[in-house]
Structure 1
């Protein structure tokens, strides 16, 4: 079984096809999904999706693109919202200097607030990092010095240096369909060197559909295509990657029940 550790089932792309997308995921051997928050204001939407489907969990947080809309979010608010039984993570939060949709100082402050909430709850922080490697690394090092917390670098497309910093600090690294792209040889080299017990796979759907689906709306079922390439990169079987990444998700997102306790898929 595979787990799509990061998708966005609340996005309009799934409005008419959510149940179908989840059913297709199950048919493809993707037994669980985590729908990731981008805004505190939409918390009820994420929660309702997770409550509707037994095999979907959710997170709570503010994406760096939305940080300027929710600058006053407190760690206490995040902790309270994270109390729901199916909320298994904080985030996604971080820094994005590619689009710079939020002032950098505000995004950094919101990022630190999410780290505080992750530390208080023991839930992993889902980190968004794009074109901001040095500042993300500096914040992670500074905050880890204040007290440890669990986290992962999601949809990893950053530098080897950030991957090494994250691994040094105990973080996990998640790869999306970008890993399958023809021009991603350097990223595959980085993935090859990430320890097996720190690897995750994700779709980040509806974005970044993997080969051979590029140009289409991505969906959780297609995390299997990324897993196949990751298996090739690591020189192991697809089954081994599926087993290892699933074990890693359950270890990191430890609030999620073990597989034996899973209910029906739909």
Structure 2
């Protein structure tokens, strides 16, 4: 894959411990693969300071590392770690302009014995903060697209956001798009058995898509035994180009534009 493509990884957890000891190398590899910008979603208040510090270290473009941008949120998979006071802290940090988006937030009803009511309440509280501070959101949605769409219709977020690792139907995809959301496509596209998702990636408007890795999670086919890494957004691009039979550069340019547009960055 060409290294001059100016790619945007719209969802990468570089602050996670899985990158301990080789984070700088992962960033250098990403830069060499053409990744110029990476969005880091926060998942718990405990680790927001670490994420923000990492983004501050890479807040300016250079020849060795991509630009890193922070998002802050409380993830539905970590409900036991969230506290009421964390909402106040999130409001404070958003007021100080420390994040480009609110996320990673959402609904995950795939989790056994999940407390749907508690997840829904936390989601709505964070969506209201996003609306208050005119920020986009990064949504995590598993087995919950219909309740998520119902919530988004009701709360009406002017800035929209990104549906990370989209896994819904074509009808749901088009409703998200109508509501101002981009759809995140990542490593799952590389699996032949993901026929429904691959069909959507091939047929939905390119203007609705962003690329992502979710590194260190969601590894691509062929790398299932090792942590995912941001450089592999270039491989996601390659798969998408094959599915759509469109030029790699065209897809790279448009998906980066889409990510920048939804986040309010230059190039959008």
- Decide: shared fold, TM above 0.5: yes
Superposed CA deviations along residues 45-97 of structure 1, whole A, max 9, x for unmatched, are 11011011231111110000123432525766434313555621101111101
**Aligned with 2:165 (options 132, 141, 155):** 155
Which residue of structure 2 aligns with residue 105 of structure 1?
117
Cα separation, 2, equivalents of 1:17 and 1:74:
30
Structure 1, unaligned stretches of length 5 or more? 260-266
Which residue of structure 1 aligns with residue 241 of structure 2?
231
1:120 to 2:132 alignment: yes
The worse-fitting range, judged by mean Cα deviation, of 71-80 and 8-17 is 71-80
Which residue of structure 2 aligns with residue 262 of structure 1?
none
1:2 to 2:7 alignment: yes
Distance 1:118 1:85, change over 3 A: closer
Q: So what's the TM-score if we normalise by structure 2?
A: 0.89
The answer (yes or no) to whether the contact 2:261–2:267 under 8 Å persists in 1 is no
- How far 1:211 moved relative to its partner? 2.9
Cα separation, 2, equivalents of 1:161 and 1:171:
14
Q: How does 1:68-79 map to 2 (within 5 A)?
A: 68-72=80-84, 77-79=89-91
1:23 to 2:34 alignment: no
- How far 1:213 moved relative to its partner? 2.5
Which residue of structure 1 aligns with residue 101 of structure 2?
89
Which residue of structure 2 aligns with residue 50 of structure 1?
55
Which residue of structure 1 aligns with residue 3 of structure 2?
none
- How far 1:132 moved relative to its partner? 1.3
Superposed CA deviations along residues 102-151 of structure 1, whole A, max 9, x for unmatched, are 5111110111112112212222100000011221121122212xx53422
Cα separation, 1, equivalents of 2:98 and 2:244:
32
Which residue of structure 2 aligns with residue 183 of structure 1?
193
Q: So what's the TM-score if we normalise by structure 1?
A: 0.89
The total of aligned residue pairs comes to 256
The answer (yes or no) to whether the contact 2:241–2:248 under 8 Å persists in 1 is yes
Which residue of structure 1 aligns with residue 210 of structure 2?
200
Structure 2, unaligned stretches of length 5 or more? 1-5, 60-66
Which residue of structure 1 aligns with residue 226 of structure 2?
216
Q: What RMSD, in angstroms, separates the aligned Cα atoms of the two structures?
A: 2.0
